[in-house]
């Protein structure tokens, strides 16, 4: 019996010696998904098993996760997405004798964000909104240009839950998706949302007076466009609603223009979904009928500078 106690005491002292001489070492901690952490550590001489203790920092409402492991790797599951965890690794010898402990701060990747809306606002720009998620530091928006060869992929990083992608190709289909991201890495890929840019506006829009209160607007045709939208605004009367008309040709006669007035005329291309793109806009005035032409011309120039 004395021999047994002497051997046990010697083993206990050797384990204490190892605990003082060596330290626990966590090799790596990664977050493969929003609810998991993959922990790898170095083997400790004389250890029989290891205990992992994970606790959400600054939270007493979430129960800690405690696991026992005999190897040097463990995939910890059931964690909270986008949370900072305090990871404590302890090595134990025979009869639960503690050998060493190490503490490391780590984090899970955020949950997947989803694109909630996408809208083409011009022939080269699309506006997006997406869901906000916990523990995110940035969102990475990707857009794949369908039917392009080689495949063209655009991406941009945002710090809020909305954003806009510019510099796109007119009348083009894009497959869009988003990743949430933090210091632990990217979350899962969102569902894909398909959006088409609007049709580019016609070029060389010109207005020619055809009478005291009438004019003709003409423009160059746009390929595969069968309908155009013409908008006439009286910029001297901002409360007056604009006149909006459609045309299947590349010209339109406009009338009922008031003397001594200033107008802008915009021509937009309309797509197959009957959504107009951004207009090509020109200015027009009827100041030739004014008694004080120079005065009205200067006022017209001032209005144009203010309007644009």
The encoded tokens of residue 214 equal: 């009438």
Is 274 part of a structural domain of the chain? yes
pLDDT value, residue 221: 97
Residue 133 has pLDDT above 90, yes or no: yes
The answer to whether residues 144 and 73 belong to one domain is no
CA 277 to CA 308: how far, in whole Å?
Answer: 18
Is 69 part of a structural domain of the chain? yes
Is 24 part of a structural domain of the chain? yes
The answer to whether residues 181 and 216 belong to one domain is no
The answer to whether residues 237 and 192 belong to one domain is no
The answer to whether residues 73 and 154 belong to one domain is no
The answer to whether residues 82 and 9 belong to one domain is yes
Containing 300, the helix (H) or strand (E) segment is: helix 293-307
Residue 42 has pLDDT above 60, yes or no: yes
User: Which of residues 178, 196, 214 is at a domain's end?
Assistant: 196
**3-state class (DSSP) for residue 191:** coil
Count of the separate structural domains present in the chain: 3
Residue 95 has pLDDT above 90, yes or no: no
pLDDT value, residue 13: 44
List the domain range (segments joined by +) for residue 232. Answer: 206-307
What's the CATH number where 263 sits? 2.60.40.10
Structural contact between residues 220 and 250, judged by C-beta atoms closer than 8 angstroms: yes
pLDDT value, residue 295: 53
Structural contact between residues 215 and 284, judged by C-beta atoms closer than 8 angstroms: yes
Of 100, 79, 105, 76, nearest to 90 (Cα)?
100
| Per-residue pLDDT tens over the stretch 272-305 | 999 999 999 999 999 776 765 555 455 555 555 4
User: Which of residues 64, 83, 107 is at a domain's end?
Assistant: 107
Is 249 part of a structural domain of the chain? yes
| Per-residue pLDDT tens over the stretch 167-196 | 999 999 999 999 999 999 999 999 999 999
Residue 15 has pLDDT above 50, yes or no: no
**Is residue 248 classed exposed, middle or buried when 0-12, 13-18 and 19+ CB atoms within 10 A define those classes?**
exposed
Is 12 part of a structural domain of the chain? yes
Task: Read off the pLDDT of each residue in 112-116 and give the average, rounded to a whole number.
Answer: 98
Of 197, 128, 134, nearest to 157 (Cα)?
128
The answer to whether residues 216 and 290 belong to one domain is yes
238 vs 12 pLDDT, higher one: 238
CA 192 to CA 128: how far, in whole Å?
Answer: 13
The answer to whether residues 179 and 275 belong to one domain is no
Is 201 part of a structural domain of the chain? no
> What DSSP character marks residue 112?
P
| Per-residue pLDDT tens over the stretch 213-251 | 999 999 999 999 999 999 999 998 999 999 999 999 999
The answer to whether residues 36 and 13 belong to one domain is yes
Angle, CA 79 vertex, CA 188 and CA 25 arms, to 5°: 100
Residue 7 has pLDDT above 80, yes or no: no
The answer to whether residues 103 and 122 belong to one domain is no
Structural contact between residues 41 and 104, judged by C-beta atoms closer than 8 angstroms: no
Is 212 part of a structural domain of the chain? yes
Mean pLDDT of the chain: 90
The encoded tokens of residue 251 equal: 């010209």
Is 132 part of a structural domain of the chain? yes
Task: Read off the pLDDT of each residue in 248-270 and give the average, rounded to a whole number.
Answer: 95
pLDDT value, residue 287: 79
Quickly count: other Cβ atoms within 10 Å of residue 223's Cβ: 8
Percentage of residues of the chain with pLDDT beyond 70:
87
pLDDT value, residue 106: 98
User: Which of residues 48, 81, 107 is at a domain's end?
Assistant: 107
Please report, for residues 89, 102, 183, 211, the alpha-carbon distance to residue 27 in angstroms, rounded to integers and kept in the order given.
11, 11, 18, 84
CA 19 to CA 130: how far, in whole Å?
Answer: 50
Residue 87 has pLDDT above 70, yes or no: yes
């Amino acid at each position: 019996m004395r021999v047994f106690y002497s051997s046990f005491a010697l083993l206990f002292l050797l384990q204490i010696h190892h605990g003082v001489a060596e330290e626990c070492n966590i090799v790596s901690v990664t977050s493969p998904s929003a609810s998991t952490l993959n922990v790898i550590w170095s083997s400790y001489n004389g250890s029989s098993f290891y205990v992992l203790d994970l606790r959400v920092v600054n939270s007493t409402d979430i129960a800690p996760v405690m696991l026992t492991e005999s190897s040097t790797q463990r995939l910890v599951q059931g964690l909270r997405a986008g949370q900072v965890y305090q990871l404590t690794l302890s090595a134990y010898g025979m009869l639960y004798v503690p050998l060493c402990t190490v503490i490391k701060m780590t984090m899970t990747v955020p949950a997947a964000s989803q694109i909630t809306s996408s809208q083409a606002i011009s022939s080269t720009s699309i506006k997006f909104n997406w869901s906000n998620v916990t523990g995110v530091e940035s969102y990475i928006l990707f857009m794949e240009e369908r039917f392009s060869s080689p495949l063209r992929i655009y991406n941009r990083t945002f710090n809020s839950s909305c954003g806009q992608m510019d510099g796109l190709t007119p009348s083009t289909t894009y497959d869009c998706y988003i990743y949430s991201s933090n210091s632990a890495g990217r979350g899962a890929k969102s569902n894909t949302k398909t959006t088409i840019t609007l049709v580019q506006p016609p070029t060389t829009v010109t207005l020619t007076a055809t009478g005291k209160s009438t004019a003709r607007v003409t423009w160059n045709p746009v390929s595969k466009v069968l309908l155009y939208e013409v908008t006439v605004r009286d910029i001297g009367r901002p409360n007056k609603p604009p006149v909006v008309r459609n045309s299947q040709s590349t010209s339109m006669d406009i009338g009922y223009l008031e003397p001594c007035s200033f107008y802008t005329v915009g021509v937009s291309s309309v797509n197959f979904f009957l959504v107009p793109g951004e207009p090509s806009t020109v200015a027009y005035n009827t100041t030739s009928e004014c008694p004080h032409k120079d005065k009205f011309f200067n006022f017209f120039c001032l209005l144009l500078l203010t309007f644009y």
